[in-house]
Structure 1
Amino acid sequence: MRLLMISASAGHGHVVAANSLEAWARKLYPDAEIRNVDILDYTDVIYRKAYAASYLRLADSAPELWGYLYNTSDRKRAKKRQARIIRAYDHIEFRKFRAMLREYQPDHLICSHFLPAQVLRPYVDKDWYNFKLHLCITDFMAHSFWAQPNADSYFVASGEGEEELVSHGVDRKRVHIAGIPILGKFAQSYSREECAAKHGLDPSIPTVLAMSGGWGAAGMPTLVESIVQHSPVQVIAVCGRNERMQKRVAELPVPADSKVAALGYVNYVHELMALSDLCVTKAGGLTTSECLAMGLPMLIPNPIPGQEERNAEYLTECGAALIARSPGALRYKVGKFLGDDGLRRRMRQAARDVGRPRAGADIIRTVVEGK
């Protein structure tokens, strides 16, 4: 059996989802032949850079425009003439991708981005198109771009996502509510005390994991300053590869009864989640699914219009997240959360109820065994 995971590096989440699916597949079916590729690696460098950067640049520099384009395209599919132009261009641009499929001859294509299905749609009658194609949607809602008629099955994260696909013409029998695939380490239980000791942190005081500050480059330091006003509190600020921001956070004044840990890039975020009470994060499908799996409530600052805003709305409806649309609202809601034990318990339970820590395993089993 040959399995091919396909992502597109247009946003980090699609690649992480494909990596998660690959890890679950290797664990569940060790004898299977498995590949994991980025479809953009089979295009020329200009196309690859333009496609990969388009969302990130628009969402960062013109979020309202991105939201308008996202929502408008969800309601209006491309006209026939536009679709013909796109197909003609794809025929040339993705010839290396099609050649790889003919060489590898997979049994199943599992896609964490809609682009592979869109590219392959005109070739369903070709003799080399002898595989099953599965789409794994990486947000809690389903944009119309995912409604590709050549897909054999769709994996969504919510009942609302299922209804959206059906409204776009997808046969309900092909849709499975499975969740968003995340790595197996988020499906395990961890001791708060052991994780705190391992990383030099205090398990006895309320802890906020800050993954995103919102509102641009000054967001993280401003966020940390807001949180430590509610002392005693412990803040874990993950600054990624932004060394300047990490230095700024590390130099902030902190009350004597509180603590701030300014971290760079980490590969143990699951352990940080295990010792935290609240995660301040963007509303990407992968990170929020990891929080849900760990039973970790979220506070989402200023969600980007489009898929992240829709994710945030879904998570708040489920009771697992709060939204703050201004720095003042964020400061207030952090204080409200930290000061209300009942709210903390309810949101933690809501996160556990919605979380699907083994979504990747369920998706792979359904693909392979057809159940």
Structure 2
Amino acid sequence: MIRFENKQQPKLLILYASYGEGHLQVARAIRDAMEERGNYRTVMVDLMAESHPWLNEVTRRFYLKSYTHMPSLYGWMYDFTRPMKHDSLFGGLLHSFGRDKIRRILAAERPDAVVHTFPSFALPELKKRTGYHPPSYAIITDFDLHRRWVHPSIDRYYVATEDLKKELTLLGIPGSSVQVSGIPLKRGFRAIAPSAELFVRYKLRPDKPVVLIMAGAQGVMPDVEQICGGLLQDANVQVALVCGHNRLLKDSISEQFQHHTGAARLHVYGFVEQIHELMALSDCLITKPGGVTLSEAIAAELPIFTYRPVPGQEKQNALYLASKGAASIANHPLELTEQILKLIGDPLRLTSRRLSTQRLQASQSAADGIILDILSNLDIMERASNI
């Protein structure tokens, strides 16, 4: 593992946004990968929140409300802006937010490189005006490409799939500027084998298939009660429901299905830090199709089921994985239950789905690969400047 002498440590500036958890999780994964190499000079900035706090709060609330209560409106906005170019009137406006703030941050921090985990490119816009900015990198956090990510001043893109790389090159981005890295996952996440110790830890039985349900961070997955009830009608199925920080959902499900929790067939968890352990014990996953969660499932080679994906990037993520044979999409609890029971009851079908998921794996450690690539580029640039 490459480690740094203190006097030689490069500084990274990571720009993210608080619209959903994925952008922040990816930013933390990159920071943690640097720290594992002895570099503690990474600076993380929520650019919109720090430069326009009031506007950030209003737009963030609108995003969350439209995402959970008006998904059709959110989907329409996503599709309407999807072909938007960086130099269009609206694209230029979006990339202008935070320009003054980033100018001050550059002067104060003097970073060696800037990493974007959200497509707000105030920094590349400055290059047009000042002729200078440190090298800029963008990590696309979904399996779908929104045109807002495309900007000629980004030096390198890190993407989840070869298909995303092809899309970028068709839009004029040189292939040498796009690396298929996978989406970075948090420190500690790794694909592991199930063990007797893990089954005991999570109070699951190794002789019955486990369906893992992750209700999601942005609101609750709809119809969780009906989904649990439908699956539990099969006496051979165990359900592991992860409610995250939603205490209300956890208490409601536990009370409603107390006869099943008593029979040890429904297991309700709050926030699970070591989610890779539960994934290792599971036969399939029901989830909202956010880019990071899907990447975790892919790393765990876990067949994926998405339920009523919200229009926008999540629906596009689900459609993409479905086209690769790694995910199924359902819009009704009965349809979902039938899909799952059909899969876990057929070993050949289950193996085929796991293989389809395995083929989507871009990297065992996306964060490490990205960091090594950035540091190598910085080293090349430094040597060139010394010639």
1:156-206: CA deviations, max 9, x gaps?
111221222223332222111111111242224243322111222222210
In 2 relative to 1, CA 148–84 (structure 1 residues): closer, same or farther, beyond 3 Å? closer
1:77–1:107 Cα change, 3 Å: same
3-state SS, counterpart of residue 19 of structure 2: coil
Change (3 A) 1:110 1:121: closer
Cα deviation, 1:33-61, whole Å, max 9, x if unaligned, reads 22222223312331121232333221211
Give the residue type in structure 1 aligned to 2:34. Answer: A
Correspondence for 1:50? 58
Please give the secondary structure, in 1, of the residue aligned with 2:271.
coil
- More moved, 239-248 vs 2-11: 239-248
Residue 225 of structure 1: aligned partner: 229
**Structure 1 gap segments, 5+ residues each:** none
Q: C-alpha separation between the residues in 2 aligned to 1:239 and 1:190?
A: 24
Q: 1: distance between equivalents of 2:93 and 2:318?
A: 35
1:242 deviation in Å?
2.0
Q: Is residue 325 of structure 1 aligned with residue 334 of structure 2?
A: no
Q: Is the alpha carbon distance of 1:323 and 1:215 closer, same or farther for their aligned partners in structure 2, counting shifts above 3 Å?
A: farther
Kindly indicate whether residue 8 of structure 2 is the aligned counterpart of residue 5 of structure 1: no
Aligned-partner Cα distance in 2 for 1:265–1:216: 14
How much does 1:288 deviate?
A: 0.6
Counterpart code for 1:166: T
Which amino acid counterpart does residue 365 of structure 1 have in structure 2?
A: L
**What is the distance in 2 between the residues matched to 1:351 and 1:84?**
38
Instruction: Give 2:83's aligned residue.
Output: 75
Aligned residues: 365
Q: Distance in 2 between matches of 1:86 and 1:40?
A: 10
C-alpha distance after superposition, 1:226-281 (max 9, x if no partner): 11112211111111222222122112143987610111122121111111111100
1:39 aligned partner: 47
Q: Contact between 2:211 and 2:286, CA under 8 Å: does it hold in 1?
A: yes
Deviation readout 1:304-360 (Å, 9 max, x if unpaired) = 111111111121222221111222211211211221111111112222231233111
Which residue identity does 2:65 align to in structure 1? R
* Matched-pair contact (CA < 8 Å) for 1:215–1:302: no
Q: Does 1:177 align with 2:186?
A: no
Structure 1 SS opposite 2:136: strand
Judged with a 3 Å threshold, the aligned counterparts in structure 2 of structure 1 residues 218 and 109 are, in CA distance, closer, same or farther, namely: closer
The answer on whether the counterparts of 1:186 and 1:357 sit within 8 Å (CA) in structure 2 is: no
- In the other structure, the counterpart of 1:98 is 103
Contact 2:192 2:276 in 1 (8 A): no
Matched, 1:360 2:367: yes
136, 146, 151: which one pairs with 1:148? Answer: 151
- Assess, with a 3 A threshold, how the Cα gap between structure 1 residues 98 and 341 changes in structure 2: closer, same or farther: same
Paired with 1:69 and 1:234, the residues of 2 have a C-alpha distance of 39
Alignment match, 1:64: 72
Structure 1 Cα separation of the partners of residues 119 and 94 of structure 2: 14
Check if 1:24 corresponds to 2:33. Answer: yes
Give the alignment of 1:251-262 within 5 angstroms. 251=255, 252=257, 253-254=259-260, 259-262=265-268
- The answer to whether the 8 A contact 1:3-1:32 is kept is no
TM-score w.r.t. length of structure 1: 0.90
Instruction: Determine if contact 1:14/1:113 at 8 Å carries over to the other structure.
Output: yes
Name the residue aligned to 2:251.
Answer: 247
Which of 171, 192, 195 is matched with 2:195 structurally? 192
Report what 1:269 is aligned to: 275
Pairwise CA distance, 1:150: 1.2
Name the CA shift for 1:314/1:166 in 2 (closer, same or farther; >3 Å).
same
The code of the aligned residue for 1:122 comes to E
Letter in 1 for 2:24: V
CA contact (8 A) 1:20 1:360 kept: yes
State the distance in 2 between where 1:174 and 1:131 align: 16
The two structures, once aligned, show a CA RMSD in angstroms of 2.5
Percent identical residues: 28
Q: Which moved more, 1:9-18 or 1:93-102?
A: 93-102
Larger deviation, residues 196-205 vs 132-141: 196-205
In structure 2, give the amino acid aligned to 1:58.
Answer: S
Residues 325 and 276 of structure 1: is their aligned pair in 2 closer, same or farther, counting only changes over 3 Å? same
Give the Cα separation in 1 of the matches to 2:318 and 2:356: 14
Residue 163 (1) aligns with residue 166 (2): yes
Within the alignment, does 1:346 sit opposite 2:352 as a pair?
yes
Q: Which residue of 2 aligns with 1:203?
A: 206
Query: What secondary structure does 1:5 align onto?
Result: strand
CA contact (8 A) 1:110 1:136 kept: yes
- TM-score, normalized by length of structure 2? 0.87
Paired letter, 1:240:
G
Of 284-293 and 242-251, deviating more is 242-251
